[in-house]
Structures are given as structure tokens and as C-alpha cells.
Chain A
């Protein structure tokens, strides 16, 4: 059994960032309730560094959009798949998404499943 991570990045209109943060708090609790070990999300602060590619360019973000970068941790890929199913069929998720005004667009999200390791431990 090895830990698995859903890693993702996506844009959110800056004027709706506070709405999005509130949504994330509620959503993270649902993911954890269904078995995710941890849920992190952070917002872009310094996105243009000489000699590197930018998350903003990757997401084709406009100037009035913030970039969110996050990950969800699971104890195995089996748990990850089971939790995804439970979250997808949780009616609270549907309600939260319908009631919140965040400008979130799943089609503009980059994501993937990864196997994490801590190189310093």
C-alpha cells in the first residue's frame, strides 16, 4: 500500500476568491469525512520567476484571475478511488457547488494522480 496524491492547479476570478475559500473549507471537510487523509490548497503569490515556466501561463490565466495550487492525500490508490466515488455522489457537494459563486471551471484545471515521497525523511 502506498500513499497517493491528487495534485491540481486552476484559476479563480480574484473578485470571487473569498467565496472560493469558503467553499474549499466545506469541500475539504467532505473529502476528509469520506477518507482523505489531508487536503491543502494555496493561492499564487509569486508566479513569474526568470528561467522557469509559470502556472499562470500553463492555465492561460487572465490578469484578474488568481491561481490555486493544491493536493489531497490518500493512504492508497484504492482508498483514493473509493473516496472519489463517495464525494461524487455526496448530495452536499452538489448543493455547495450550486449555491456558491466562485467561477470555478473544471475544464480549466490541470490535475493528476501522483505517488508522494518525502526525500528528507
Chain B
């Protein structure tokens, strides 16, 4: 069990003992997950873009930003990441996530990120923004 999780458990058990448990207690981290296709010759550009964007996300409350460059992403028969983002031969699938301490922090943080002038000045992302898969997820397990 991570330290943060342990602290949460203690806080939660204290709240239970005090019998003043709020209706909605967010004990899990929140994750924004992304999958996109990036042109191989734009890898360095993408890394620079990711660095600039990550700094903005972290400033607005994100706990962690992780970007993963595809190494072996099979096309699959029924479903696959490359199919879903229509990955071309000269492109690579990237798999990324932004971790937030809670859904509330995520909603507020994303709003600030969108309004942050630094993100505008970074310019257009070096990938096709129409082929990005995005989703918000509640943490089930963090081992």
C-alpha cells in the first residue's frame, strides 16, 4: 500500500469513527487516459510538446504525467489501438495518462489548463487531434 493510500485509509477510518462521512468521498486517484498516432519523424517535436503541456498540467494540480511511445503495438484482429486511431505505416501509437488526486481536482485542473495561455503558445499538437482517444477513469487499483 502506498503512503498516500495509507493516509487516505486513516483519514477515512477517522471520518467513519466520527460518523461524519461526507456523501461523496473520493478515495481513488483519477486518470485521464489518451491514445493517439504520432508521425515517426515528429517524435522529437512530440516530446517537446509533451514537456510543455506536462508543465502546465502539473502547475494546475496534476500529480503525474506519463507519456508512452509505442514499441510493439499489434494491429489485433477484433480491436486494437492502431485500428482505433487509424495509425498509418509511418506513425506510432502513443499511450499516455495524466493522474490527478481526485475527480474534483481533475475537473478544476483541466479547466485551468484549457484557459492557460502557455498551452496556446505551445502551438498545434504534432499529431492529428481528430484521431485522439480520450477518457476519464476512476482508479480501481494502484499497486
Query: Looking at the complex, which one of A47, A58, A115 makes contact with B79 (CB distance below 8 Å)?
Result: A58
Query: Looking at the complex, which one of A7, A43, A46, A47 makes contact with B68 (CB distance below 8 Å)?
Result: A7
In the bound complex, residues from chain B placing their C-beta under 8 Å from that of A68 are 140
**Contact (A53, B134) CB under 8 Å given A60-B79, A108-B79, A118-B66:** yes
Cβ of B78 and Cβ of A107 under 8 Å apart? yes
**Contact (A47, B67) CB under 8 Å given A21-B140, A28-B141:** no
Flag whether A99 is at the interface (Cβ < 8 A).
no
Query: Looking at the complex, which one of B67, B71, B139 makes contact with A42 (CB distance below 8 Å)?
Result: B139
Cβ of B138 and Cβ of A43 under 8 Å apart? yes
Chain A residues 35 to 87 lying within 8 A of chain B, measured CB to CB, are 38-47, 49, 51-60, 67-71, 77
Number of chain B residues whose Cβ lies closer than 8 Å to a Cβ of chain A:
54
Cβ of A112 and Cβ of B64 under 8 Å apart? no
Cβ of B81 and Cβ of A112 under 8 Å apart? yes
Cβ of B135 and Cβ of A25 under 8 Å apart? no
Cβ of B65 and Cβ of A112 under 8 Å apart? no
B5 to chain A, nearest CB (A): 12
A8 to chain B, nearest CB (A): 9
**Contact (A112, B95) CB under 8 Å given A55-B133, A119-B53:** yes
Cβ of A119 and Cβ of B85 under 8 Å apart? no
Q: C-beta contact mask, A1-22 vs B, less than 8 Å → 1, else 0?
A: 0001101010000000000010
Flag whether B101 is at the interface (Cβ < 8 A).
no
In the bound complex, residues from chain B placing their C-beta under 8 Å from that of A110 are 76, 79-81, 84
Can you identify 21 A-B contacts, CB atoms within 8 angstroms?
A21-B141, A40-B31, A42-B28, A42-B29, A46-B135, A47-B135, A52-B134, A53-B84, A53-B134, A54-B135, A58-B133, A60-B79, A69-B137, A108-B79, A112-B95, A113-B71, A113-B72, A117-B66, A117-B68, A119-B51, A119-B53
Residues of B within 8 A of A (CB): 28-31, 33, 35, 47, 50-51, 53-55, 57-58, 64-74, 76-81, 83-85, 93-95, 97, 103, 129-143
What 8 A-B pairs come out closest when comparing CB atoms?
A112-B73, A114-B68, A46-B136, A42-B137, A58-B84, A120-B54, A52-B134, A119-B54
